[in-house]
Amino acid sequence: MRKKLKITGIVVGISLAVYIVWMIYRLFFLVDINVVPKEEYISKSTSPDQAYTVRFYRANGGATVDFAMLGIMENKDGEKRRMYWEYPCREIKEVKWSKHTVTINGTKIKIWSQVYDFREGIYEAE
pLDDT confidence of residue 77: 93
pLDDT confidence of residue 32: 62
The CA-CA-CA angle for residues 62, 89, 74, to 5°, reads 105
With contact defined as beta carbons under 8 Å apart, do 68 and 36 qualify?
yes
pLDDT confidence of residue 125: 86
Instruction: Flag whether the pTM goes above 0.85.
Output: no
- 90: Cβ contacts below 8 Å, ≥ 6 apart: 58, 66, 67, 69
Q: Distance (Å, rounded) from C-alpha 119 to C-alpha 121?
A: 6
pLDDT confidence of residue 30: 59
Regions of the chain short of the pLDDT cut 70: 26-37
pLDDT confidence of residue 54: 96
pLDDT confidence of residue 29: 63
| Alpha-helical regions (H) of 1-126 | 2-29
pLDDT confidence of residue 9: 86
Please report which helix (H) or strand (E) contains residue 47, including its range: none
DSSP 80: E
Q: Report DSSP letters for 48-68, one per residue.
A: TTSSEEEEEEEEE--TTS-EE
pLDDT confidence of residue 6: 86
pLDDT confidence of residue 55: 93
